């Protein structure tokens, strides 16, 4: 059972997910969202789905930023924290997967990776914080990891991210290299970063012998496949 119609939902539609699993992939994905109607829409859909699927393994996608205590939480992150609590309250067997900057196909989408790609392709000028860092993960790797975690004990919250943290400027440079185009941006002196401990995820990947090659070259290699 898959709830949603976006990229995550479409990826899991190709998966061998069993009938005893509910994938909730219809949440607010823009971390800058301040629209209470969007938050309320997700809340109502989530609770209705939880009540009708309490006998299934329930998968919810949240944000890695919630794992960083020191990182300031805006309305979006507070909303995600509330949704996590609802999942824990209503589900008998839940899997909360906290994800960072997710990237899949280069479609029009309010994600950092797609924004940088579109800006360079169309020669749009954009802003880069001089001390901004982001974790990333590719959408098919999310599917592979979720499929493996579903075979383990439920009622868990897991961060899914490539353990290497990228400076946003370095992500821009990777795109410049791959596209062979210059990016037009201006620097702003601002810090925006947090740190994750992803040791347990790295151990899980090794233990399950998953074909996921995390590390500094991860983003470059994944983007090459898509370009």
Q: Could you write out the DSSP letters of every residue in the chain?
A: -EE--SHHHHHHHTS---TTEEEE--S---TT---HHHHHHHHHHHHHHHHH-TTSEEEEEEEGGGG-TTS---HHHHHHHHHHHHHHHH-SSEEEEEE-EEE-S--S-SSHHHHHHHHHHTT-EEEEEEEEEE-EEEHHHHHHHHHHHTTS-SSEEEE---SSPEEHHHHHHHHHHHHT---EEEEEEEEE------HHHHHHHHHTT-----STTHHHHHHHHH-
Stated pTM of the model? 0.94
Strand order in the sheet with 94-99: 2-3, 21-24, 57-63, 94-99, 156-159
pLDDT at 33: 85
* Tens digits of residue pLDDT in 93-135: 999 999 999 999 887 667 899 999 999 999 999 999 999 999 9
pLDDT at 154: 85
* Tens digits of residue pLDDT in 150-167: 999 889 999 999 999 999
Per-residue pLDDT of the chain (227 residues; tens, 9 = 90+): 899 888 899 999 888 777 899 999 988 888 888 889 999 999 999 999 999 887 889 999 999 999 999 999 999 999 999 999 999 999 999 999 999 999 998 876 678 999 999 999 999 999 999 999 999 999 999 999 999 999 998 899 999 999 999 999 999 999 999 999 999 999 999 999 999 999 999 999 999 999 999 999 999 999 999 88
CA neighbor of 65 nearest in space, from 201, 192, 215? 192
């Amino acid at each position: 059972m898959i709830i949603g119609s976006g990229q995550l939902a479409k990826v899991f539609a190709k998966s061998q997910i069993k009938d005893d699993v509910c994938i909730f992939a219809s949440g607010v994905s823009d971390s800058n969202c301040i629209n209470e109607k969007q938050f309320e829409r997700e809340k109502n859909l989530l609770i209705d789905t939880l009540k009708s699927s309490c006998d299934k393994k329930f998968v919810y996608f949240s944000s890695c930023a919630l794992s960083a205590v020191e990182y300031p939480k805006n309305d979006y992150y507070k909303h995600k924290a509330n949704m996590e609590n609802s999942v824990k309250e209503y589900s008998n067997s839940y899997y909360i997967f906290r994800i960072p900057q997710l990237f899949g196909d280069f479609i029009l989408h309010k994600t950092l990776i797609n924004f940088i790609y579109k800006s360079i392709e169309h020669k749009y000028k954009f802003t880069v914080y001089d001390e901004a860092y982001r974790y990333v993960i590719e959408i098919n790797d999310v599917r592979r990891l979720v499929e493996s975690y579903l075979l383990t004990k439920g009622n868990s919250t897991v961060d899914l991210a490539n353990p290497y943290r990228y400076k946003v400027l370095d992500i821009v440079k990777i795109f410049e290299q791959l596209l062979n185009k210059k990016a037009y941006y201006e620097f702003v002196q601002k810090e925006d970063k947090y740190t994750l401990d992803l040791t347990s995820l790295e151990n899980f990947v090794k233990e399950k012998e998953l074909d996921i090659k995390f590390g500094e070259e991860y983003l470059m290699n994944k983007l090459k496949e898509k370009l």
